[in-house]
Structure 1
Amino acid sequence: MFFQLINKTLSLVLTYSNAKINIGLNIVEKRPDGFHNIETVFFPIGMRDAIEIADSKEDTDYTFSASGIPIDIDPSENIVVKAYNLIRAKYNFPAQDIHLHKSIPFGAGLGGGSANAAYMIKLLNQKFDLKMTDFEMEELVSQLGSDCAFFIKNKPAFAIEKGEKLTTIELDLKGYYFLLIKPDIHISTPEAYANITPKKTEISLRDLIQQPIENWKATIKNDFEASIFPKHPQLAEIKKELYEQGAVYAAMSGSGSSMFGIFKDEPQILLQWKKQFCWQEQF
């Protein structure tokens, strides 16, 4: 079971929704609908939010509360609530009190909101024995975001089209150290795609990712870096510093602004990084 039963009387259950990084991101073509087809590898990391639900005593469809990083939108617009409403429209179960504790930063390219949506659906599925398959949950949560489906299986995956077409891959980084720095920089989607020229790749990222990690620096790129780094040179500087500290691979995750490095040995956290949001773990 991926959730904990906290209070049997209230049917209070808790789960943790983790973040992801993109290892490589190629923008291969613009679609007729205005979106872009990409290819990327999603990889789960240990950074996580917490989601609690309990049977509600209120005369309402749900209640919502939050803690941690402030959330400045109306609760009805929160993707956790959207996921809850999506499932409640399809299945009959008691109204729930929802609490979200937010630790994954916004605008970081880490998929925190997408993970929240997927884990809400998985939590409801298990608590109320809705018997949804992984495929059914992936189809439903994809209505809320292109990368949401990844978090249903939550295993390393090669993603194409808008990021919703997934193939689970073998990618073992056990023993490597991971360091992520998220500076106080917000990058909008239009800004990220500015000056991007889509281009189909000669060698698929799915093949490149199977090469030794020491090869990735020369072969695996994030296309957004070429567009974003000139406007935000601090990100390019962080990438340079990660390599200087011994990273075997360093890159931006998604459209930023998180930068990460993968190391064979535990890295030293530089003083200037400590002034930013930092996350460190060993895979």
Structure 2
Amino acid sequence: MIKKAYGKVNITLEIVGKEGNYHLLESVVSAIDIYDTLTFKEAFKDEVSANIEIKDNNILKAIKLFKEETKVEKGVAIELIKRIPIGYGLGSSSADISATLLGLNELFKTNLSKDKLKQLAGKLGSDTVFSLENKRAFLTGRGEKVLLADNYEPLSFLIILPKEPLLTKTVFNNYQFSDDYLGFKEHLSDNDYLIKKAKNDLLKTAINLNKEIKEIIAFGEANNIKINLTGAGSGLFVINPTLKEIKLLKTNFKECQFLKAKEL
């Protein structure tokens, strides 16, 4: 059995407060057609293999939590084919966690409800609940509260990956609150508004931490190309880019990786 774990782009991200060690946010998030693949098979013991080195195995954590909830005793072997770049704010880890829970629920026929899966996903990460849905949504809290959009026209993205990724923890630890709150909940399906007003409160911090991001953003401003940060990594994006914009960026930033993506 195979499950796809879809990446995401934060079209907007505003930090609205702090609760303990966690920043509270409001974010319009799009699921995109860049995805990891997870293959599930019953096995004697739990094991995860992948086409990359796994440093922090969140898939095993998801298996453990699922088994604690369902009392399933059989083992599972999961093969991960990683395609979502890590460290660029594209939801790589959250997507894999959610796909694991969905896959286990189907493999072992445990019939957990969507609400129960959301409850489990929320214990394992901030964007994991969103990754169970795979459509545009407005996230609040730590990202675990999800309001789905209705009747939106899917966007396309040019995703720009600088050479060096940024750790989410590093970005948040260096963030200083801003007071330019706009609020996007009422504009969740309004593409024109989102394209015009898209912002990420973490962008200034990322610019200070990464010289390459600073150069790309400055280049965009000089050439009237609206470039923004997705999530809390170093990934950047342009919404509905023109062929001219794509060529210009690729020509001037040859050491970056460029990905085209469409919204689900």
| TM-score in terms of structure 2 length | 0.87
Equivalent residue number for residue 20 of structure 1: 8
Equivalent residue number for residue 9 of structure 1: none
Q: How many residues align?
A: 258
Q: In terms of mean alpha carbon deviation, does 155-164 or 188-197 score higher?
A: 188-197
35, 42, 51: which one pairs with 2:29?
A: 42
Q: What percent identity do the matched residue pairs reach?
A: 24
Equivalent residue number for residue 255 of structure 2: 275
Map 1:194-213 to 2 at 5 A: 194-197=174-177, 199=179, 201=181, 203-213=182-192
3-state secondary structure, aligned to 1:40: strand
Instruction: State yes or no: 1:78 paired with 2:66.
Output: no
Do the aligned partners of 2:48 and 2:59 also contact (CA within 8 Å) in 1?
no
Do the aligned partners of 2:161 and 2:234 also contact (CA within 8 Å) in 1?
yes
Map 1:1-283 to 2 at 5 A: 13-31=1-19, 33-56=20-43, 58=44, 60=45, 62-67=46-51, 70-73=52-55, 77-91=56-70, 92=72, 94-170=74-150, 172-174=152-154, 176-193=155-172, 194-197=174-177, 199=179, 201=181, 203-213=182-192, 215-216=193-194, 218-241=196-219, 249-263=226-240, 265-266=242-243, 267-268=246-247, 270-283=250-263
Instruction: Give the Cα separation in 2 of the matches to 1:127 and 1:170.
Output: 31
Residues 144 and 26 (structure 1 numbering): CA distance in 2 closer, same or farther, change over 3 Å? same
3-state secondary structure, aligned to 2:5: strand
Q: Which has the higher contact order (CA 8 A, sep 6+)?
A: 2
C-alpha RMSD of the superposition: 2.4
Do the aligned partners of 1:24 and 1:220 also contact (CA within 8 Å) in 2?
yes
- Structure 2 residue runs without a partner (length 5+): none
Instruction: Give the Cα separation in 1 of the matches to 2:22 and 2:150.
Output: 28
3-state secondary structure, aligned to 1:132: coil
- Structure 1 residue runs without a partner (length 5+): 1-12
Pick the structure with more helix per residue: 2
Instruction: Give the Cα separation in 2 of the matches to 1:179 and 1:200.
Output: 26
Deviation readout 1:154-213 (Å, 9 max, x if unpaired)? 111101111101111136343x53210111223234531324115483x42112444442
| TM-score in terms of structure 1 length | 0.82
User: How far off is 1:15 after superposition?
Assistant: 1.5
Q: Which amino acid aligns with 2:98?
A: A
Residues 240 and 261 (structure 1 numbering): CA distance in 2 closer, same or farther, change over 3 Å? farther
